[in-house]
Structure 1
Amino acid sequence: MPASDLPRPGRPSFGRLVEVEARKQVDTRAGRWLLGVVLTVYGAGALMGGAGGFADAFAVGAMPLGVLLPIITILGVTTEWSTGTSVITFVLEPRRGRVLAAKVVGGLVLATVLIMLALAAAALTTFLTSASSGRTPDWDLSWWQVTGLSALLLLGSAQGAALGALIQHTAASVAGFLLVPTLGTLVFTSLLGNGPLVPWLSINDAMTPLTGPSPLTPTQLAQLGTACALWIVVPGLLGAFRWTRREIS
């Protein structure tokens, strides 16, 4: 049979790309170790907070996820350049923007799964700590506590993906995620004091109300949107531009 008559394999669907990219984030030695650290740290935090009830177990246990989830997302986005697999990836799927989108969505899907596991672990530790002390479990957990903390974790993962796409180097992207927003807050505070403009520019200040007891006010929601545009959307667009045009070596 002539080569021209052989059936040509179709390009992978976007759902398939998301599945592959999500698996790649945990299917490496670094990813497995980091995921193990995430689950261990979360379990310890939930166990410490379990004595205070379901809400405390979820909040205390999920605090480390705010740092560790973005790092997992950064690893997923930067792996093509740091491990030299970009040649293989872009031969299988030449549309680089599609690959980057799959990495971002895969990271957010993984973050969502870990948040659900966090809720399950919080419920388990609340039951165990209450049973061991003979108390009635406190299951009081408002919809906003789950929504706000989940939004905080997902936005952190999106911020990590944006920085990873822009910097395209794992160590530098992790350092940027950990240092740049804090340094930005210090700069804004030193220039503007504690004035009303700081929450519009500092993503750390804008995200703080997500951990509060009540939903965001319209002003806080607008501040969050502005800060996310500055720290997530702009780096993400610049990163996508660089991602699609970087020379493969």
Structure 2
Amino acid sequence: MTALTAPAPTTPAARAGIPWLRLVRVELRKQLDTRAGRWLLALIVVVDVALMSLLLWAAEPGTLGWSGLTEAASAGQLMLLPLIGVLAATSEWSQRTALTTFVLEPRRTRVHGAKAAAGAVLAVAVMVATVAVAALANLVGGVLRDGPGPWSLDAALVGGNALGLLLLVLQGLGFGLALLSTPAAIVAYLALPTVWTLVGSLVPALETAARWLDMSGPLARLMSGQLTGDGWAHLATSTALWVGVPLAVGLWRTARREVS
């Protein structure tokens, strides 16, 4: 008699995982295909264009240049792009899509890694688009105002802006994962670093700690292409607090939260 062996049941752990690039594409689409994500990106474009237009109108002809317009245009994305990281982290739980997501890919850390990678792709894409739009603005300024400004582009400025955007998106993602509530995460992301900076400036005993744990100062110098020396150590220390700690708490919390 020939014995028939039933195939072993296939479990989520036994199945091959979703390819990494596909997972990143899905998470990137989630960040862009929501109404909130589209409105945030549209608002970034409006703010950047408004700032460049204001500078072209107010600055002396031929003085601003490509680097200056690029730096000016970064203000809108610095304020608003990290909120997409918050939404990417909280949407799974606020819109009740976590069950579908984690059934298809049960390794939650891998999903969160894909969210972070998608945020990095978005940050770099926004920076590239900003440089291109600043070049167009410099050309338009040259037509309207007796010649364009300098066409030199500061590599430290562009690289610093890209790295700063990446850190801020990761910070937003970390606060979102830690709190799993969009309003609470946005308030915490905007308020806590600012409160710490104010407390450090008002309490003399905290002056040294504030200098090492305040992310805003070294981040501003990074994004203006002027971070040197001890500034990198200050940036690393403050990033460990304001980016690393929320991410660690968020990964720990989401790994243990029941999905329903």
What is the TM-score when the length of structure 2 is the normalising length? Answer: 0.87
Q: Which residue of 2 aligns with 1:59?
A: 71
User: Can you list the C-alpha shifts for 1:184-215, whole angstroms capped at 9, x where unaligned?
Assistant: 11122233368443220111123232144534
For 1:56, the aligned partner's letter is: G
1:106: how far off?
A: 0.7
Q: Give the CA RMSD over aligned residues.
A: 2.3
User: Can you list the C-alpha shifts for 1:51-76, whole angstroms capped at 9, x where unaligned?
Assistant: 52111211111111111110011111
Bigger-Rg structure (1/2): 2
2 CA distance for matches of 1:213 and 1:97?
33
1:4: how far off?
A: 5.2
Equivalenced residues, count: 247
For 1:119, the aligned partner's letter is: V
Q: Which residue of 2 aligns with 1:178?
A: 190
User: Can you list the C-alpha shifts for 1:115-134, whole angstroms capped at 9, x where unaligned?
Assistant: 11011110111111111222
1:22 aligns to 2:23 (yes or no):
no
1:44 aligns to 2:50 (yes or no):
yes
State the secondary structure of the residue aligned to 1:64: helix
1:197 aligns to 2:203 (yes or no):
no
Superposition pairs of residues 148-159 of structure 1, within 5 angstroms: 148-159=160-171
State the secondary structure of the residue aligned to 2:203: helix
- With over 3 angstroms needed to count, the CA separation of the structure-2 counterparts of 1:233 and 1:14, relative to structure 1, is same
1:138: how far off?
A: 1.6
Query: What fraction of aligned residue pairs are identical, expressed as a percent?
Result: 35
State the secondary structure of the residue aligned to 1:174: helix
Greater mean alpha carbon deviation, residues 122-131 or residues 144-153: 144-153
For 2:209, the aligned partner's letter is: L
For 2:40, the aligned partner's letter is: L
1:108 aligns to 2:120 (yes or no):
yes
Superposition pairs of residues 138-157 of structure 1, within 5 angstroms: 138-157=150-169
1:5: how far off?
A: 9.8
Q: Which residue of 1 aligns with 2:247?
A: 236
2 CA distance for matches of 1:237 and 1:209?
26
2 CA distance for matches of 1:212 and 1:67?
15
User: Can you list the C-alpha shifts for 1:6-38, whole angstroms capped at 9, x where unaligned?
Assistant: 999743111111110011101011111111111
2 CA distance for matches of 1:114 and 1:165?
23
State the secondary structure of the residue aligned to 2:153: coil
Q: Is the 8 A contact 1:45 1:62 kept in 2?
A: no
Q: Is the 8 A contact 1:49 1:61 kept in 2?
A: no
What is the TM-score when the length of structure 1 is the normalising length? Answer: 0.91
User: Can you list the C-alpha shifts for 1:61-113, whole angstroms capped at 9, x where unaligned?
Assistant: 11111111100111111110010011111111111111111111111111110
1:127 aligns to 2:139 (yes or no):
yes
1:140: how far off?
A: 2.5
1:223 aligns to 2:234 (yes or no):
yes
For 1:134, the aligned partner's letter is: D
- With over 3 angstroms needed to count, the CA separation of the structure-2 counterparts of 1:6 and 1:246, relative to structure 1, is closer
2 CA distance for matches of 1:162 and 1:6?
37
1:144: how far off?
A: 1.2
Q: Which residue of 1 aligns with 2:41?
A: 35
Greater mean alpha carbon deviation, residues 28-37 or residues 3-12: 3-12
Q: Is the 8 A contact 2:201 2:210 kept in 1?
A: yes
1 CA distance for matches of 2:8 and 2:223?
60
State the secondary structure of the residue aligned to 1:166: helix
State the secondary structure of the residue aligned to 1:197: helix
